[in-house]
Structure formats: structure tokens, C-alpha cells
Amino acid sequence: MWDWNFVWQIIPQLADGVVITIQATVLGTIIAMIAGLGLAIARRSRNKFIRYPFGFAAEFIRGTPLLVQLYFLFYILPDLGILLSPMVAGVIGLGVHYATYTAEVYRTGIDNVSKGQWEAAKAINLSTRQTWTQIIIPQAIPPMIPALANYFISMFKETPLLAAITVLELMNQARSVANYHYKYVEPMTMVGAFFLLVSVPSVIFLRRLEKRFAPKLR
Amino acid sequence: MTDPIIRIEGVSKSFGNFEVLKDLSFTVAPGEKLALIGPSGSGKTTILRILMTLEEINGGGIFVDDEPLWHMPKNGALVKADEAHLHKMRAKIGMVFQLFNLFPHKTVLENVTLAPMLTKGTPKAEANALAMDLLAMVGMADKASQKPAELSGGQKQRVAIARALALRPKIMLFDEVTSALDPELVEEVLNVLRKLADETDMTMLLVTHEMNFAHDFSDRVLFFDGGRIVESGPPDQIFTNPQEERTQTFLRKIVAAGQRI
């Protein structure tokens, strides 16, 4: 049933997929971190013309499946004249989808910085930008790191969805190998093992992060 | 007579339906040490917060150093102040809070150097030297490299005073700065305030429940109740011979609670 020779034979092709999976996760994470922060700040805006549209967009994205969003980005946007490569569509899809979740983490982290810190910053005459960069964000981020990391691990495990829009990530490579050889056990087991090998240490690392940063909230 | 450094003219302020300040007017002379006393909810903290621009006013006007605080001149009329005007006005005022509000992620030294470096562009070496002078003045120079979490309440409050002084404000506001402290730590903070009052010509407004200190510290005492000034006068008069019945009742309660006046 289990063929070690076949395993060795398909490793190079799966390795190509691993590279794409990691690239998609890293790029998606970067987008989710930056766009999530922007979204959190936009949703705190005093201007309702900023606050409401971003709020609506965030709820819309969170309330619909990532797979549907990927289809929109890759198959429907070209009808509107916007043509994205599979990888670009996939990374944008992952990043923006998870930005709506990271925005909530940022929002909670920002809300946890006491009102007194905002007032002290005002009392020493810092500008709004200086207050954010020097006082609020440096205090808000450390306690959020475990929650953010949790979402990035989830994102990593959702990268196989990119196969649906022809990104040659690990799952797609494994499926292609399996279909070609009509042998599914080894490639699918290897895909599962890879995700497990990355996820389990990540979760252990996450627990350490929680211990390291969570007490700072108190 | 010199012009007042603070003019409060018919100021009103409400939180929802609760009117905290009712048509409040008073002036403060340059260099004057003013104690604001009165029961909780009487509006004395609110007036400090309004002066620090942490709360907006609903009516009336405030002038600091002959310039409107919450308004600005535009096309010959006074309009609501924009952020740039408030920023300019805030530079004249410093505030020390009841709960210190030090920045926990920065060292004691960084807490004090932050404002001069960011708002005035003071070079780091100069800001450090100024901060060390201020920390020495409040007796905290040896803690410069520590984080606020490593300090006692009294030490935190002394650092907060140094931080507020770092911008060299003309006016300092002290909002119940000893209320959150254990009794044995109160004196170290009051000593710093005494020193400031004796050695500087800054205008100082102090909201406090420490009547004995208010008596020693201030040139004038304002007794607040229900969003109005019920009585004002020199500390000797207010504390030993109050004219208004409400003031007398308040002070009797304070004495009954064990404070010496």
C-alpha cells in the first residue's frame, strides 16, 4: 500500500508546492497585518463616511466564505477588466480575508490601552500620529501577538483553497501527482504530514508567545 | 494689576443631562497657586480637564495667556478651535493625573524626554540633560533607566510631575495627585509640589482633598459645589472663617473624617 520509492520520487514536485504555500502564507500574513491595522483605524474613525463603508466591507468579507472570495477575485474580476495572476489573486484573497479578523484583534488591543494613555499623550502635546506610533501601537501590539499568530496559523492551513484558482501550492501539486499516477495515499499523507509538522510546533511556539506577552496586558 | 493668565468666562459643561459646570467664571493671576476644593462631582476636576483640552466646553469662553483656548479667531470672529490651535495652546499647559498615566513601555527617562524631543525637536542629548535635571528635582534621577512598573505609586507620580514639567509649561494642573497613593507615600509627592511652588513662578491649579496641604500651598482657595464656585478667598479665610454655610458643612465633614485643617 505505502510505496517509499514513490515518496522519494514525488518529493521534488511537492517541494515546489511547499515553496508556493509558504510564499502565499507569508505574503498573505503581511497583507493581513497591514490591511488589518488600517481597517481597525478606519473603523475607529470619527468620520462616519470612513467608518461605515469599512465596517460594512469587513462584515461582508467575514460573512462570506474565502473560497467564494477567491472565485470572485480570479474568475469574476477579469469580466470587469481586472486580470490577476492566480498567485496574486490568492495572496490578496487570503490577506484581505484575514485582515478582517486581524482588524478585530487590533481593535481589542487598541481598546485595551487605557484612556489615561491617550489623555497623557494629549497632555504632553503629542500629535495624533505621534500618539498612535509612540504610545498606543507599542502598547497594543504585544498582547495581540498570540491572537494574531493564531490567525496566521489558520491562514496557513487554508492555503490549499488556493488550488481552486489554479495556484500550484502544495495541495495542487499533490493532487496533480496523485491524478497522474493514480496513487493518492502517499501524496495526500505527505501534504497532511507537512501541515502537521509546521502547525504543531507553531502552536507550541504560540503558547510560549502567550506566556511571554499576555501578562503585559495586566 | 497684571492681566490674568487664565480667564474663565461663563463656562458651562454637561455630560448628558448632568450639568457639571454652570456659568462658571473666574480668573487666575500669573504665578498664582490656586487650590480647588469641594465634594466629589462638584466640577473641579472637569475644569482642569477642560483647561488641558481633554473635555470640550458647551458654552462660554476660556482665555489662556490672552488667547482663546477653545476658540480661534477667523475672519474677525471667534470660531471653534481646530487641532492646530489646540496643539499650540496645549504647549502652555501641563497636567499631572490622579492615576499617573506614565507610559509603561518606556523608561522613566524616556517618559520625560518624549515630549521635548517629539514636540519641540529638542536633540536627544539636550532632552536627556533636561530630563535628568527634572528627575533630580523630583528625587528620581537614580531610577532613570527603570520602567514605571518597577516604581511605587509615589515614585510614579514624581516622574509624572517631571514629565509634565519637561515642556516648560506656564501653567500646571494637578488633579488629585495624591488620591491614588498609600498614605505613607503622599508626603513625598506633596514635598515635590511644595518645592515647585516655592522655587518656580509657574501658575498652578491644584484639585485636592488634602485640605492641610491646600492651606499651605495656595494663595487662594476656590470652594466648588454643584458646578459653581460657592466661596473663594485666601486659605486662612476659607479654612478658618468660611462665610458660606455650604463651605462650613463641607469642612466640618472633612474634620470629622479625621483630617487636620
pLDDT digit string (tens) for B168-190? 999 999 999 998 888 888 889 99
Pairwise CA distance, residues A126 & B103, whole Å = 13
Tell me whether A46 touches chain B (CB under 8 Å).
no
Tell me whether B119 touches chain A (CB under 8 Å).
yes
Which long-range contacts link A192-198 to residues 24+ away (Cβ below 8 Å)?
A194/A14, A194/A18, A194/A170, A195/A156, A195/A157, A198/A156
Q: Considering only alpha carbons, which residue of chain B is nearest residue A119?
A: B54
Position A60, amino acid: F
Angstroms from A42 CA to nearest CA on chain B? 19
What CA–CA distances, in Å, run from B50 to A129, B23, B58, B90, B110? 22, 14, 10, 11, 27
Higher-confidence position of A213 and B203: B203
Question: Residue B26: which pLDDT band, with cuts at 50, 70 and 90?
Answer: very high
> Is the alpha carbon torsion for A63, A64, A69, A75 positive or negative?
negative
Q: Considering only alpha carbons, which residue of chain B is nearest residue A135?
A: B103
Strand, helix or coil at A159?
helix
Percentage of chain B surpassing pLDDT 90? 82
Instruction: Determine whether the interchain pair A139/B166 forms a contact, defined as Cβ–Cβ distance below 8 Å.
Output: no
- Cite the beta strand spans of chain B per DSSP E: 6-15, 18-28, 33-37, 59-64, 67-68, 71-74, 77-80, 93-96, 171-175, 203-207, 220-225, 228-233
pLDDT of residue B23: 93
Q: Considering only alpha carbons, which residue of chain B is nearest residue A114?
A: B101
pLDDT of residue A217: 41
Question: Residue A218: which pLDDT band, with cuts at 50, 70 and 90?
Answer: very low
Q: For A151-199, how does the pLDDT look when each residue is reduced to its tens digit (9 = 90+)?
A: 999 999 999 999 999 999 999 999 999 999 999 999 999 999 999 999 9
What CA–CA distances, in Å, run from A124 to A133, B87, B95, B129, B203? 15, 10, 8, 18, 17
Percentage of chain B surpassing pLDDT 70? 99
Q: For B99-131, how does the pLDDT look when each residue is reduced to its tens digit (9 = 90+)?
A: 999 999 999 999 999 999 999 999 999 999 999
Q: Which of B93, B94, B89 is nearest to B67 (CA)?
A: B89
Tell me whether B57 touches chain A (CB under 8 Å).
no
Pairwise CA distance, residues A99 & B114, whole Å = 32
Instruction: Determine whether the interchain pair A124/B166 forms a contact, defined as Cβ–Cβ distance below 8 Å.
Output: yes
Question: Residue B257: which pLDDT band, with cuts at 50, 70 and 90?
Answer: confident
A127 contacts in chain B (CB < 8 Å) = 87, 119
Question: Residue A1: which pLDDT band, with cuts at 50, 70 and 90?
Answer: confident
For residue B91, pLDDT beyond 50: yes
**Sheet containing strand B203-207, strands side by side:** B93-96, B171-175, B203-207, B33-37, B220-225, B228-233
Question: Residue B1: which pLDDT band, with cuts at 50, 70 and 90?
Answer: low
Backbone angles phi, psi at B178, to 5 degrees: -110, 0
Pairwise CA distance, residues B84 & B63, whole Å = 16
What are chain A's domains?
Answer: 4-217 (1.10.3720.10)
Position A129, amino acid: R
For residue A46, pLDDT beyond 90: no
What CA–CA distances, in Å, run from B80 to A54, A118, A129? 29, 22, 22
How many C-beta neighbours within 10 Å does residue B25 have? Answer: 13
Strand, helix or coil at B203?
strand
Using CB atoms, pick whichever of B87, B104, B167 lies closest to residue A127. B87
Q: Cα B191 to the chain's mean position, in Å?
A: 16
Pairwise CA distance, residues A189 & A170, whole Å = 12
For residue B163, pLDDT beyond 50: yes
Instruction: Determine whether the interchain pair A123/B104 forms a contact, defined as Cβ–Cβ distance below 8 Å.
Output: no
Tell me whether B80 touches chain A (CB under 8 Å).
no
Instruction: Determine whether the interchain pair A126/B83 forms a contact, defined as Cβ–Cβ distance below 8 Å.
Output: no
C-alpha cell at B243: 462665610
Tell me whether A122 touches chain B (CB under 8 Å).
yes
Tell me whether A112 touches chain B (CB under 8 Å).
no
Pairwise CA distance, residues A58 & A44, whole Å = 13
A132 contacts in chain B (CB < 8 Å) = none
Pairing between strand B6-15 and B18-28? antiparallel
Average pLDDT over residues B71-91: 92
Pairwise CA distance, residues B157 & B161, whole Å = 6
B87 contacts in chain A (CB < 8 Å) = 125, 127
Tell me whether B120 touches chain A (CB under 8 Å).
no
Angstroms from A151 CA to nearest CA on chain B? 25
Q: For A95-110, how does the pLDDT look when each residue is reduced to its tens digit (9 = 90+)?
A: 999 999 999 999 999 9
Task: Specify whether the CB–CB gap between B208 and B38 falls below 8 A.
Answer: no
What CA–CA distances, in Å, run from B165 to A31, A36, B117, B133, B142? 42, 37, 14, 11, 18
Angstroms from A92 CA to nearest CA on chain B? 34
A122 contacts in chain B (CB < 8 Å) = 52-54, 90
Angstroms from B241 CA to nearest CA on chain A? 37
Contacts of B149 (CB under 8 A, 6+ apart): B104
What is the separation, in whole angstroms, between the first and last Cα of chain A? Answer: 55
Instruction: Determine whether the interchain pair A139/B104 forms a contact, defined as Cβ–Cβ distance below 8 Å.
Output: yes
A138 contacts in chain B (CB < 8 Å) = 105
Pairwise CA distance, residues B47 & A41, whole Å = 30
Percentage of chain A surpassing pLDDT 90? 83
ipTM above 0.90, yes or no: yes
Task: Specify whether the CB–CB gap between B102 and B111 falls below 8 A.
Answer: yes
